Amino acid sequence: MMPLDRNYIKPEADKDIVKNSGIPFQLDLIKDARVNKSAVEKRCVTVTNRRTVKKHNQAAWLLKAITCMDLTTLSGDDTERRVIRLCNKAKTPLRHDLLKSLGIENIDLKVGGVCVYHQFIRTALDTLQGSNIPVVAVSTGFPAGHTPKKTKILEIKEALRNGAQEIDIVISRRHVLSGNWKKLYDEISEYKEASGVACLKTILATGELGTLKNVIRASLVCMMAGANFIKTSTGKETINATLPVTLVMSRAIREYFELTEFEVGYKPAGGISSAKACLSHMMLLKEELGSRWLNPSLFRVGASSLLSDIERQIEHFSTGKYSSFNRHGIA
């Protein structure tokens, strides 16, 4: 079997990424944002119908997806033992025999981050010690966000004190639904100040925003306020990451980049449980923003069960046979 291209799998360094520091509030830019829903849906259909990758290319794309994955456990029955198992899987996402069959056994393959609740930050840090995998903490009243602002800011600061390197915050959807864009901007700006140099990801909960127009406007406001990533969902909504949302948010990122030259990352999360779905989002992002965005500094995919399916697909590529899901447990 021909070995995979190691340069494609290896993540790019983020030292030259122009990180977003925010810009002054611009209401005209927000009001001018429009979305042609029918055109968006038609564009997304062409991605799934035209763009397919097979064999070596598919395996390489799936390995790239692993390096961009925020391996996540955000359940009410989370325990320290589950978090430890998740972190161990994050350090060794694929079995050694699979890596050897692909000719990449010497590559330090690992996920992009591990996302947990506050009380498990220390457990995750201890388990991930020496791996350089960042710990991501959800904050600001996740998932609904209906807690006082003062409490939300304290949550961010407490997560940072406990050692979290990245913060996933939820926006107040009521500001979007009522069109109070300045209030949303001020809120995110305060979260940005509280997070300091940590990577700030803003969760839009797109399934609760009503329209794609609200999605693009909320995306622009979050980036203006200094968000380093814009993220689709908490994973708790009825509708989570969809291709139309990925298209709209990636175009908002492109518009903001052309205006400011700041590079903002994108994170689809929720509902992406199959390798095929993950590849569709990645291909769409590449077409809209370029290959540069397909690295952990600018792209993450929030997932829990996705890694199991990716491992199954890579095993099928390596052996020609599919294994059952129970052979690929996460936590």
CA 161 to chain centre: 23
Q: Give me the catalytic one of 110, 201, 267, 309.
A: 267
Cβ(145)–Cβ(189) below 8 Å: no
| Annotation marks residue 267 as catalytic | yes
Cα angle for residues 133, 135, 137 (degrees, 5° grid): 160
DSSP letter string, 117-182: -GGGHHHHHHHHTTS-PPEEEEESSTTT--S-HHHHHHHHHHHHHTT-SEEEEE--HHHHHTT-HH
Nearest to 267 by CA among 136, 87, 160, 130: 136
| Annotation marks residue 168 as catalytic | yes
| Annotation marks residue 231 as catalytic | yes
Considering only the C-alpha atoms of the chain, give the largest distance between any 2 of them, rounded to a whole number of Å. 57
Q: Give me the catalytic one of 168, 192, 201, 309.
A: 168
Q: Give me the catalytic one of 64, 192, 231, 309.
A: 231
- Residues near 56 by beta carbon (within 8 Å), at least 6 away in sequence: 2, 4
Cβ(60)–Cβ(9) below 8 Å: yes
By annotation, the residues acting in catalysis are 168, 231, 267
